[in-house]
Every structure is written in C-alpha cells, then in structure tokens.
Structure 1
Amino acid sequence: MNLEKRIEMLENELKIVKRQKILSRIGFIALFAFIIMVNPIGYISAQSKNLGEVRGTRIVLTDQRGFERAVLSLDEDKGMVGLVMRDELGGASAVLGTSGLNLRDKSGSSRIALVLNTGEPGLALYGEKAKERALLVVDNTGPALSLRDNKGVDHWVTPSTIK
C-alpha cells in the first residue's frame, strides 16, 4: 500500500469520525429536548411560574441499588410533614417531623428524641430496646430531669419532678 492510499484512507476515517461527532451532538440535543417536553418525572407543575419549583406530596432519594435513603413526605390527614433519612440498608435512621427529631439505631429503636410537645421542649435518651433512660423536660413548672435504670425505675430525679 502506497503513501497516497494511506493518506486517503485516513482522510476518509477522519470524515467518518467528524460525522459521528456531529450526529452524537444532534442526538444529545434531541434527547434533552424530548425529556424537557415529555417531563417523565411529573413533579414540575405546569402552573408553576418559578421554573425552580418542584411540587409533589412525596419525594424519594434512592441509592444505586434502589434503596430509599431519604423520603420527604406529606401526610395531609394528620397535617404532618416528615423527612426520613437512612445511612445504609438496614442502618441507622433519622426522622425529622414538624414536632421533633428522632434518631434510631439499626434495629429501628429510638435512641434520641428531641420533641416539642404542646409548645414544651423535651429531650429523651433511650437505652437498649427503646427504654427511656434519661429525660429532660421544660414545662410551665420549670425544668425537670430524671435518670432511670434498665427497668425504668428513677434513680436520680431533680426536685421539681418530685410531686
């Protein structure tokens, strides 16, 4: 094969590569336009004036295996909004609701709860099997702290909690 033949072959291959590059760009643009027109996710409201707005009653984030890692949802019947986050399959989770935050271990048992009950804040620390071990509450009578053993019996209680 002579030099002219080789140059001609390389020029033909270069033309093919350039065509493929142009066609792939056109394909990408067409696919992008199709996705925008079809809107397969269905969350973006057609009535939305703000293009950055997303509407829905449940948003789910999944990992590469399809496991739900975070769920933001609305329960209209109870008037509650909640965010549940999980660190891994079968791992610990955090639940953030309109009235508190609950951290759970791998078994799903509460370990820490920060709550707002009828406007009064509280913090509970749980031992094994979700047994309440320490409780701090602030109500209209003042702060109260109690520490309990594994059986739920108070071992140390602040004076304001004794009735």
Structure 2
Amino acid sequence: APADVYKVLSTPEGVDHAFKKLDEIKADIQWWEAGAQPPEWLANGGVAMSTTFVGRILEAQAEGAAIKFGWPGSLYNVDYWAIVSGTKKKDAAYAFLSYATSPEAQAEFSKIQPVAPVNLKASALLTPERIAIMPVGDNLKEAVPTDSNFWNDNLEALTERFNAWASK
C-alpha cells in the first residue's frame, strides 16, 4: 500500500525485496536520460510504461500521440523555498513568498505549467480539466509522497547498492 512503502523499505527485508523485484524486471528496464525520451518511447510502443514529466506527455498528446498518464502508484515530491540566514533582504523575501504562494499566483502558474499548486486554495481557481492533469486532489489518493527523511538517512547506502546491482 502507498502508506507502507517507506515502512517496508526501511527494513533490510524490504530493501532485499525491492532488489529482488529489480532482478526480475532488469531485462525489461529501459533507462531514460532526456525528458523527450519517455513520451517518444511510449508513443512508438518501445515501452509499456514510464516515469516522465507531465508537460512532456501533454506535448506529445498535442502532437497526436495516443498516450496517457495515470496517478495511482505515482511518486511525488514537495518543493521548498528557503531564506538565507542573515540576509539583509528578509522582508523582500517574505513579501515574495507571500505573493508566490498566494492562491491567485499559484493558480496562474498552474495554468501555464502543469504542476500542483502548493496552496490548496488555488485548486478552486482552476478548471476540473486542468486539475485532472496535475498531481493534486484525487490524483494523489494512491500516490506515494517521497520521504525526504528516509532518503537523507539511506541515500548513500542505497545508491551504492543500486550502482553495484546496475553494473552486473
């Protein structure tokens, strides 16, 4: 279950299970290196599914590609703003953050870039069609939020193990 991903992955048995699954599908994995590759591969039948950027799928669809994206099982990240400690422009930084995270500004940005607004009140300012193509609301019901604490604690060891696995 999405809620259990990091609970399971936090155990040695969970990591072993993940790598066993990777072993099973290794011959079918196609690693992409540029954002244009997944939609192209999906459109020409080179792959059955892929991670990718929403905007790339929308571009491919606009060009006539018969591909779709789905949200169940997807992973999502939360981005953060930071103000540098000791800055002399702290008031300007707070003013910017207040504006940039307002429902109106978030909705306007989401209208031109298919990213979920961080201010949930912005969703009320978007059309249902726009919300349907973004990781927000019902689209996140079966999604997995990336656990930054898990990756802070485990990135080095898992990267080392993954690189060893990938090189076999």
TM-score, length of structure 1 as denominator length: 0.20
Q: Kindly name which structure, 1 or 2, has the bigger radius of gyration based on alpha carbons.
A: 1
Of structures 1 and 2, the one scoring higher in RCO (CA 8 A, sep 6+) is 2
If each structure's strand is expressed as a fraction of its own residues, which one has the higher value?
1
